[in-house]
A = this chain, B = another copy of it.
Amino acid sequence: MAEITNYKYRVEPQDVDFTLRASAPSVVNYILNTAGLDAHNKGFGVEVLQRQSLSWVLSRLSVEIDSLPAQYDEFKVATWINEFNRLSSTRNFTLHDRSGMQFARAVSQWCMINIESRTVADMSSLEDTYRAAMVACPSPCGKPARIGAIDPQHHITRPVVYSDLDFNRHVNTLRYIEMIFNALPIERIERNEGMRIDINFIAEGRWGQTLDIGHATDGNRTNFEIKADDGRTLCRARVEWR
């Protein structure tokens, strides 16, 4: 059995929004970078998987944010894996400020795909390395919810552009989070009284496509569905304010 691993960061100028605090998308960015770095440090990073034509794919994510750190604040991301089977792995995160207060937490579910066939791969080949990295500690918040189709009240369309692309020429995970926040009322973001985000990643957006970002609000909840111009759903999400 392994132990929870901690990574230290600082809120950089590019992370803050107009409130001079880290934006929620930048917090998600630190969470995802920590996942990549910790997988690398423990022997199952993308560069190891690529030798077997495999890659990690984030399938679902839940994030709860109570408050956001200010520019140049230092903070710590703790991460651990507590579930693993042939088809899915669960990685957890808690975020703490310098005084040790937990200000955010997250649960992510990953699968593995074969890069060539683009199909889901069996993770059994990683089992030995992976078991050694497991930590017997429960997830810090509710697992990512399954989000259903929505009947959007509003639509935004935008092309996939160069700065959206990851190394696979697919839309970077973080861009979906930005699209979601760009569609939310700015006043709500400004007075952030705490939120929970649930996201399901369903298919890959590609260079040359135009995306449709549909959303519908009911009270404190806004549901999102992002589709490609061929009608395929790429991503569904829900943001719930406290």
A165 and B17 CA atoms in complex are apart in Å by 6
- Within A175-195, which residues are at the interface with B (CB < 8 Å)? 178, 181-182, 184, 186, 189
What 1/0 flags go to A188-209 for Cβ under 8 Å of B? 0100000000000000000100
Q: Which of B12, B16, B19, B165 contacts A18 (CB 8 A)?
A: B165
User: Number of A residues contacting the other chain (C-beta, 8 Å)?
Assistant: 31
What 1/0 flags go to A151-189 for Cβ under 8 Å of B? 000000010011101111100001000100110101001
In the complex, the answer to whether A23 meets B182 with C-beta atoms within 8 Å is: no
In the complex, the answer to whether B16 meets A167 with C-beta atoms within 8 Å is: yes
A150 at the interface (CB under 8 A from B): no
Q: How far does the Cβ of A184 sit from chain B's closest Cβ, in whole Å?
A: 7
Residues of A within 8 A of B (CB): 12-14, 16-20, 23, 25, 29, 32-33, 36, 158, 161-163, 165-169, 174, 178, 181-182, 184, 186, 189, 207
10 A-B residue pairs with CB within 8 Å: A14-B29, A17-B162, A18-B166, A18-B168, A18-B169, A23-B162, A158-B158, A161-B182, A162-B181, A163-B178
Q: How far does the Cβ of A195 sit from chain B's closest Cβ, in whole Å?
A: 14
Q: How far does the Cβ of A14 sit from chain B's closest Cβ, in whole Å?
A: 6
| B residues less than 8 Å from A161 (CB atoms) | 182
A14 and B174 CA atoms in complex are apart in Å by 9
Interface centre among A18, A25, A178, A207 (most CB of B within 10 A): A18
In the complex, the answer to whether A207 meets B186 with C-beta atoms within 8 Å is: yes
| B residues less than 8 Å from A19 (CB atoms) | 167
CB closest chain-B residue, reference A165: B18
Q: How far does the Cβ of A174 sit from chain B's closest Cβ, in whole Å?
A: 7
CB closest chain-B residue, reference A172: B14
A174 and B182 CA atoms in complex are apart in Å by 17
Q: A163-B181, A186-B162 are in contact. Are A33 and B17 (CB under 8 A)?
A: no
